[in-house]
Amino acid sequence: MKAMILAAGRGERLRPITDSLPKPLVQVRGKPLIQHHIEALVAAGITDLVINHAWLGEQIEQALGTGQQWGAQIQYSPEGSRALDTGGGIYNALPLLGSAPFLVINGDIFTDYSYASLLRQPQKLAHLVLVSNPQQHPQGDFALQNGEVRQNAAQKLTYSGMGVYRPAFFQHCQQGAFPLAPLLVEAMERRQVTGEYFGGHWDDIGTVARLQKVNKNQ
């Protein structure tokens, strides 16, 4: 299995830190945030990685190189000066991701999820990892019902930013910038999305305050 780490975001809410440093290189517990992902993936036997980038992307390539020092093989999917959003970024990287199901991870989360337990061959088009709703997102995103992810339900959970996708999930997309969420909703309506609940450690490093909290609670 290959994995893609989404690392092209501007990190507006982490300014001024991200004025001169791309969000994936922000220090979390003594190392760049994206390094935590790389190490966890390699530990689970997932070594073929794709990383997209836009804002200050050259710094990401300089910091990570080929990934050899962690036992990984990193390929990059540059998006230039304008990021392609989550959906567009994945679609743009499809030639690097191949024909098998692949894992996608939001680069701005911090978690102890074990990728070794991940469902690598989803029965349907996508398989999402859902978590309890954090304080900053109490309404949640999607519901988990009998192993399927649904949009319309009373009790919702939060999408963790970790999911496995079949390339066919993007078969009707076109090149350009577009978000992932509407595609997920459409697939859910066709009952093409499965999911699992993860109750371990998970944080969205989206603001300076949340970054400070994670670094404080070591």
Q: What distance in Å separates the CA atoms of residue 131 and residue 200, rounded to the nearest whole number?
A: 8
The reported pLDDT for the residue numbered 206 is 75
The reported pLDDT for the residue numbered 125 is 97
- Residue 215 confidence (pLDDT) above 90: no
Backbone CA torsion sign across 11, 129, 118, 98: negative
**Tens of pLDDT along 22-71?**
888 988 998 999 999 999 999 999 999 999 999 888 999 999 999 999 99
**Tens of pLDDT along 159-178?**
999 999 999 999 999 999 99
- Highest mean pLDDT, choosing among 9-18, 104-113, 202-211: 104-113
Can you tell me the mean pLDDT for 72-84?
A: 92
The reported pLDDT for the residue numbered 11 is 66
The reported pLDDT for the residue numbered 120 is 85
**Which range is least confidently modeled, 18-22, 115-119, 167-171?**
18-22
- Residue 12 confidence (pLDDT) above 80: no
Q: What distance in Å separates the CA atoms of residue 8 and residue 86, rounded to the nearest whole number?
A: 9
The reported pLDDT for the residue numbered 9 is 82
State the chain's mean pLDDT as an integer: 92
- Residue 155 confidence (pLDDT) above 80: yes
Q: Which two tokens stand for residue 118?
A: 């991940």
- Exposure string over 37-52, b if 16+ CB within 10 A, otherwise e: bbebbbebebbbbbbb
Q: In the chain, what are the domain boundaries?
A: 2-216
Q: What distance in Å separates the CA atoms of residue 168 and residue 124, rounded to the nearest whole number?
A: 10
**Tens of pLDDT along 189-206?**
999 999 999 999 999 887
Can you tell me the mean pLDDT for 202-215?
A: 83
- Residue 14 confidence (pLDDT) above 70: no
Q: How confident is the model at residue 117 (pLDDT cuts 50, 70, 90)?
A: confident
Q: What distance in Å separates the CA atoms of residue 44 and residue 29, rounded to the nearest whole number?
A: 21
Can you tell me the mean pLDDT for 201-216?
A: 83
| CATH number among 3.90.550.10, 3.50.50.60, 3.20.130.10, 3.30.70.1450, domain 2-216 | 3.90.550.10
The H-assigned helical ranges of 72-158 are 85-97
Q: Which residue has the higher pLDDT, 19 or 181?
A: 181
Q: How far is CA 147 from CA 127, 159, 184, 191, in A?
A: 10, 14, 15, 11
The reported pLDDT for the residue numbered 218 is 62
